[in-house]
Structure 1
Amino acid sequence: MAMSSGRGVHESDGMEDVFLALAAHRGGYVFRHDLIDYGLRDRDIRAAVRAGHLTRLRHGTYAPTSLVTPLSPEAKHVLIAYSVLDKLGPGVALSHHSAALVHTPQSFGVDLDIVHVTQLSGRHGRKEAGVVFHVGDTTEDDLVEVDGRLVVAPARAAFESACRSSTESGMVTMGAMMHDGKVAREELEQLGATWERWPGSRHARIAIRLADGRSESVGESRSLFMFWREGVPRPEMQVIIRTEDGRHVARSDFAWLLYRHTGEFDGLFKYGRLNSYANDPGLAITEEKKREDLVRSLMLGMSRWTWAGLDEKRRGRTARDIMLGLEQSKRLYTRNATYIPLFV
């Protein structure tokens, strides 16, 4: 990539290192004026973008492509949100979805193209250039500092986000924060009572009631929403399956104890906290087959579903299949059963 600039930079050799150094100074991104101050011209910046050395995050804001490419959509949103906050300066804090994503990397169904900030000065709310400016009754107790920036505290961020999204989305955010110990259900319930007249608060309060901190993924939280929405009995979560002599067989995402039935969102039982063979699909399948055979030998039925089965157009069918499995397991395994090898 040829460049012409006030600093006499004519070759691309070393420019990627320059971009990385400039971005590191700001925490992962660089403003246009940083590049201009270094000696580049707008045509140089455009050339760097075309060559794949820089990625445009928003107007006047860039990041080294090598840093942006590995980021999840949620992490990329946080990077952009930080750049917005830094440009706006004092008097604003990240809020709503943007603050929630600072506190947890898990989300579903939120608009990641919009950055949300709350103005601490009480000015009128507005929306401009992909940023929504909120006005709220925010005190110091509602704010925390993360990476040197003001961010709405976890509980309030989760509630704000849930008010502006679906119940399912709110469950994902709240479940993730509860799982990580960022919030307690009691905190969320108190906010729900305090702000019961907020627009969207009904969705948020339902999400509080349905969210579960034992959920370990977006898919598990969405599965809980599917059970509620489609009338499937609410199961226990992260249930340990053992043999009669107490030997650990597997850990199931969901278990309907009275039906002697288990459920797996991603299709695989877990041994311990993580799948030890995640990097060896063949061995994972072999070990999974052994666990499945052992689970079935303990007179336990099972249902499996994947991300596609949670789609709004397909979740009704998924739920019906689960219900059929529950009834079948109840008929086959609860009659004359003398023990239940499940321990929550």
Structure 2
Amino acid sequence: MTAFISRAELLASGFTPAEIRGHLATGAWTSVARGRYVTKPGGAHGSVGERHAVRTHAELSRFRSEAIVASHRSAAVLHGLPLLGPKPGLVEVTRDGVNGSRTSSSVQVRASKVPPEDRVRIDGTAVTSVARTLVDLARHDEPLQAIAAADRALATERVTGSEVAAAMARLGSAPGLPAARRVLQRADGRAHSVGETRQRIVLEDGGITGLAFQIEIRDDHGGFIGRTDAGLVELGILIEFDGKEKYTKYLRPGERMSDAVLREKKREDALRALGWMVLRFDWSDLRRPDDVVQRVGQEIEHRQEARLPRGSVMAADPVRITF
């Protein structure tokens, strides 16, 4: 985490108010919250998520009350959970209690019960636990955002379904819980990116049944060919989400993007040689969900009489949240 320093600490160390203003005016220092500054060169120029994390720590340091915790999207950033779309502009916090909700130019404060079991500390800052963060996202954010965050948390064993259920139970009859239950029940821990989660939701909402996920495919001799995002195994159809992360996250030492693209093509050629049909969708496709469902439906019809692919498969089991 990029460190910040308070105005009081700077004054105590000998800086004058004029010197502080001068450093801010030249851009050498950056204000990340009222009276909180990043003074290291480049410290305020990390990724959007990294900058929001610094702002969250800085804003929370201004609250003297132990009743305040980072929550919602800000907590998701600190926990390393994926966010859909741009990172939050406002730092989101929750005040333990029933009163005190407000929004300023930099912070959104919600009032809600936050028992000790739903609190953790990250780099000294009080934050809602992963389980409570998922519940809050499901209560107040877009359903896809909550499902994608839950998928990641479940897949990486950052949380269990029973922990999420317990966090929700501790909220009693708080507003938004019935809808939150319905949302979180759709998470299953078998998506490795927001795009994969979105693809699964599109297919399920479109009535595509019998889907398997994180499918490991081997050839006739047991040799590993690859792992695919989703598919209809009994029909020999594989469905891949083609996000940029697929070609950047798993680059090998010394590889360029073009090397990863070529490796992916060879993998797909090997899958087709075994008899698999491979469908690929990207974000532009998922913005037209009806077209995606129609294309998969057409392939289902075409594959009814097709021979099953050679080799063997093994799919991941779901990890669900039940209430």
TM-score norm. by structure 2 comes to: 0.83
Q: Determine which of 290, 311, 314 is the counterpart of 1:343.
A: 314
Task: Name the counterpart of 2:159.
Answer: 183
Other structure's SS at 2:42 match? helix
Task: Name the counterpart of 1:55.
Answer: 30
The answer to whether residue 237 in structure 2 is matched with residue 266 in structure 1 is no
Q: Determine which of 290, 295, 298 is the counterpart of 1:316.
A: 290
Other structure's SS at 2:138 match? helix
Task: Name the counterpart of 1:208.
Answer: 184
Amino acid at match of 1:219: G
Amino acid at match of 1:205: R
TM-score norm. by structure 1 comes to: 0.78
Task: Name the counterpart of 1:199.
Answer: 175
Q: More relative contact order in 1 or in 2 (CA 8 Å, sep 6+)? A: 2
1:1-344 aligned within 5 A: 28-40=3-15, 44-45=19-20, 47-63=22-38, 64=40, 66-71=42-47, 73-91=48-66, 92-109=68-85, 112-120=88-96, 123-192=99-168, 195=171, 197-233=173-209, 235-266=211-242, 274-276=250-252, 279-311=255-287, 314-328=288-302, 330-331=303-304, 334-337=305-308, 341-344=312-315
Quote the Cα distance in structure 1 between the aligned partners of 2:180 and 2:41: 37
The Cα shift of 1:269 comes to 12
Q: Which runs of 5+ in 1 are unaligned?
A: 1-23
Other structure's SS at 1:210 match? coil
Taking only the aligned residue pairs, the percentage that are identical comes to: 24
The Cα shift of 1:89 comes to 2.3
Other structure's SS at 1:68 match? coil
Q: Which runs of 5+ in 2 are unaligned?
A: 316-323
Amino acid at match of 1:309: D
The Cα shift of 1:216 comes to 1.5
Other structure's SS at 1:238 match? strand
The Cα shift of 1:93 comes to 1.7
| 1:245-276 superposed Cα distances (whole Å, 9 cap, x missing partner) | 111111111121122111111269989x9454
Other structure's SS at 2:120 match? strand
Other structure's SS at 2:148 match? helix
Quote the Cα distance in structure 2 between the aligned partners of 1:304 and 1:230: 17
Name which one, 1 or 2, has greater alpha-carbon Rg.
1
8 Å CA contact 1:210–1:224 kept in 2: the answer is no
8 Å CA contact 1:93–1:118 kept in 2: the answer is yes
Other structure's SS at 1:186 match? helix
8 Å CA contact 1:115–1:130 kept in 2: the answer is yes
CA RMSD of aligned residues (A): 3.1
Q: How many residues are treated as equivalent by the alignment?
A: 312
